[in-house]
Amino acid sequence: MNQRPTPPPHAPVLAFDRQGGVLTIGGRDVRDLVAQVGGTPAFFYERAFIEARVAALRAAMPVDIKLHYAIKANPMPAVVRLMAGLVDGLDVASAGEMALALDSGMSPQAISFAGPGKTDAELEAAIVADIILNLESVGEMRRADAIAQRLGARPKAAVRVNPDFELKSSGMHMGGGPRPFGVDAEQVPALLEEMANTRLKFHGFHIFSGSQNLRVEAIMECQEKTMALALALACHAPTPPRMLNIGGGFGLPYFPGDRHLDLQLIGRNLDAVLAQARSHLPADCEVILELGRYLVGEAGVYICQVVDRKISRGQVFLVTDGGLHHQLAASGNFGQVLRKNYPTAIATHIDQPATEKVNIVGCLCTPLDRLAEQVAMPEAQVGDLVAVFLAGAYGLSASPSAFLGHPPPAELLV
């Protein structure tokens, strides 16, 4: 009998197959993967999942939309190289990410560098590499111009705009109101006027409003407003825009009750938005969706091992060798207001029914180090493997790995 267990409330658990009662990733028994990388804890990212996700996006979005990957979501070099072959461009936010992007084989023309607080050294490295600068302020523009003069270069520069609206219901707001990101929309005309007298070649606009959004209507409304703002600002530009990066913000269903975004709806709406905008844009102007989490988040699983099982005042605690030093987000300490459980499972008893409520904790000596609280699980013993799903984005690189001095986890693209 090949019977699927009761569907869990989280889709990502179902996205992975199982064999003989054990979780598989990329078709391989998770115990074999653990042995291959030399033990737990470890992050595994499924190549086929990422490829399928990019294909699904391409199928749903207008054909003339370019897809970029924001490396911040998962900077593992093997993942970045995989992405370089799947998407149309890479977005970086530090010199370190820029080096990764250039190593991936992606053309410099398809790499853009955003982020507040770019140092002169970073600006110079980006100008020498001939990648696109997404300018975050007038001051940054002037510094970039001075460097360009010294180098005799003519760098491409886009203006990151802090819009006069927000992406509603975002997990993290990155536009609207006072922000360290981008140039306030009302200040952009003056900046563009000044840019016309610099060595910078105006390239376009970058408007990124927010992250982790699960409301299709909010995303669609934001895309409409973003396009309208870009077209209005383009009237002040020294040359027509070659690129409009309209952001992304597509969210993932992390918690019970969350639903996957309806990509078809977003795609159809974007089609209409683009069709209207195209008549005001040069034919070769690229319109870019920039996504991180949505491309890689569900492809990753964090695997740790139960090192102790104990009962405290009536509650079961599974103490693992993993924790928030690798996967801060699952502990609830990265952007969550009310702590909720990420989808978790006992990877070595994946098909067994839940028989007890447990707390799954990490090995750090702090009460913050919780991976799951009061979740129903099959009985697990010392040596069993725990899987924390949705670990492909903002996992290892967004966690305080030096905290408490444990060794780093392995990472493998399967």
> Using CB under 6 A as the criterion, which residues of the chain lie in contact with ligand PLP when the complex forms?
70, 72-73, 91, 114, 174, 208, 211-212, 248-249, 290-294, 393
Q: Closer to ligand PLP at the Cβ: 34 or 330? A: 330
Minimum CB–partner distance for residue 249 and ligand PLP (Å): 6
Cβ–Cβ < 8 Å for 55, 305: no
> What minimum distance in Å lies between the beta carbon of 292 and ligand PLP?
3
CB of 93 to ligand PLP, least distance (A): 6
Contact 296, 392 (CB under 8 A): yes
Choice between 44 and 294, CB closer to ligand PLP: 294
The residue type found at 30 is V
In the complex, the smallest distance separating the C-beta of residue 116 from ligand PLP, rounded to whole angstroms, is 10
CB of 388 to ligand PLP, least distance (A): 18
What does the alpha-carbon distance between residue 220 and residue 299 come to, in Å, rounded to a whole number?
Answer: 25
Residue 261 or 385: the one with the smaller Cβ distance to ligand PLP is 261
Q: In whole angstroms, give the CA distance from residue 51 to residue 292.
A: 14
Structure tokens at 7: 């569907």
User: Which residue's Cβ has the minimum distance to ligand PLP?
Assistant: 292
- Biggest CA–CA distance in the chain, Å, is 73
Q: Please, what is the Cα angle at 49 between 79 and 407, to 5 degrees?
A: 45
Identity of the residue, 114 or 274, whose beta carbon is nearer to ligand PLP in the bound complex: 114
Q: How far is the CB of 383 from ligand PLP (least distance, A)?
A: 35
Smaller CB separation from ligand PLP, 292 or 378: 292
Q: Pick between residue 174 and residue 274 the one whose CB is nearest to ligand PLP.
A: 174
Q: Which CB sits closer to ligand PLP, 33 or 84?
A: 84
State the nearest-atom distance from the C-beta of 252 to ligand PLP, in Å. Answer: 9
Nearest CA-CA partner of 89 in 68, 109, 71, 75: 68
Q: Return d(Cα 354, Cα 210) in angstroms, integer.
A: 37
Short-list 293, 291, 387, 388, CA closest to 335: 293
Least distance to ligand PLP, CB of residue 280, Å = 24
Separation between Cα atoms, residue 9 and residue 303, nearest integer Å? 20
Q: If you compute the radius of gyration of the chain from its CA atoms, what whole number of angstroms results? A: 23
Tokens 């000596």, located at residue? 365
* Residue 158 vs 364, nearer CB to ligand PLP: 158
Residues 6+ apart with CB under 8 A from 146: none
Counts for the chain of helices (H) and strands (E), in that order: 12, 22
Cα–Cα distance measured from residue 239 to residue 233, given in angstroms and rounded to the nearest whole number: 11
